[in-house]
Structure formats: structure tokens, C-alpha cells
């Protein structure tokens, strides 16, 4: 009896943390939760499932609700929503680029 290998289908979940300075006082730590899958034509791709932001204010973690209230009072709800959208997009693009260009490095990191 002969065994014939047909293919491998590698998929997994990946969580990546990205620090993005907003200004001199505020840094956003964005955690991107992604589903990574193989595409035989273009390599590995990812599907972002969720993003979470931890706000750092003057080097200290801020409670999410407290930061939201303060930021909205200072800048307004629309400005905060735009900031969150921009931060999530920037973090997701960074993770997508990392998967597209340096996936072997990511695998080595995971295997150590």
C-alpha cells in the first residue's frame, strides 16, 4: 500500500501587541487577534477577528472607561471614535504586513 501526501493546510490564531504613540502623553497598546491561513497562490493571509486597546497615559495604564470619559470631554466623541478607528487600522496593517513579509520569522518566534 502506497501513501501519497496531498497537501498541508496550516491555520492558527495569532495575537499580536503593537504600541502606537498618539502624542507625548498618550500611547495606545493595541492587541490584534487574527486568524492566519495559507493561500497557495499568495502565501499566508490573515483575517482580523478583534482588536483591543489599552491606553497608557504618562506611562501608566489608564482604565478604559476613565480614559474614554476624559478624552470625550476634551475632544468629543467623534474625535475619539476616529482615533480608535485609525489606531486599529494602523495596528492591523502592521500585523498584516508582518505576516505577508516575514512569516518564517513569526513561526520561528512561536517555536522557541
**Is 49 part of any domain?**
yes
Please give the residue range of the domain that contains residue 61: 11-107
Q: What is the pLDDT of residues 17-74, one digit of tens each?
A: 999 999 999 999 999 999 988 776 667 778 899 999 999 999 999 999 999 999 999 9
Number of domains in the chain: 1
- Name the more confident of 2 and 75: 75
Q: Which residue has the cell 485609525?
A: 86
Report if residue 2 sits inside a domain: no
Radius of gyration of the chain (CA): 19
The whole-model pTM stands at: 0.79
Residue 4 has pLDDT above 90, yes or no: no
Domain annotation covers residue 5: no
Residue 91 forms part of a structural domain: yes
C-alpha 54/C-alpha 27 separation (Å) is: 9
- Is 57 inside any structural domain? yes
The pLDDT score that the predictor gives to residue 24 is 95
Question: Does residue 26 belong to any structural domain of this protein?
Answer: yes
Say if residue 111's pLDDT is above 60: no
pLDDT at 51: 95
**Tens digits of residue pLDDT in 71-105:** 999 999 999 999 999 999 999 999 888 777 766 66
In a domain, 32, yes or no: yes
Does 81 reside within a domain?
Answer: yes
Q: How far apart are CA 104 and CA 110, in angstroms?
A: 10
Amino acid at each position: 500500500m502506497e501513501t501519497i501526501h496531498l497537501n498541508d493546510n496550516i491555520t492558527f490564531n495569532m495575537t499580536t501587541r503593537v504600541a502606537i504613540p498618539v502624542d507625548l502623553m498618550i500611547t495606545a497598546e493595541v492587541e490584534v487577534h487574527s486568524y492566519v491561513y495559507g493561500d497557495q497562490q499568495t502565501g499566508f493571509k490573515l483575517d482580523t477577528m478583534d482588536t483591543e486597546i489599552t491606553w497608557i497615559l504618562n506611562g501608566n495604564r489608564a482604565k478604559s472607561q476613565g480614559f474614554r470619559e476624559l478624552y470625550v470631554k476634551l475632544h468629543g466623541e467623534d474625535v475619539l471614535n476616529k482615533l480608535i478607528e485609525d489606531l486599529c487600522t494602523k495596528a492591523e496593517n502592521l500585523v498584516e504586513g508582518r505576516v505577508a513579509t516575514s512569516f518564517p520569522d513569526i513561526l520561528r518566534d512561536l517555536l522557541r
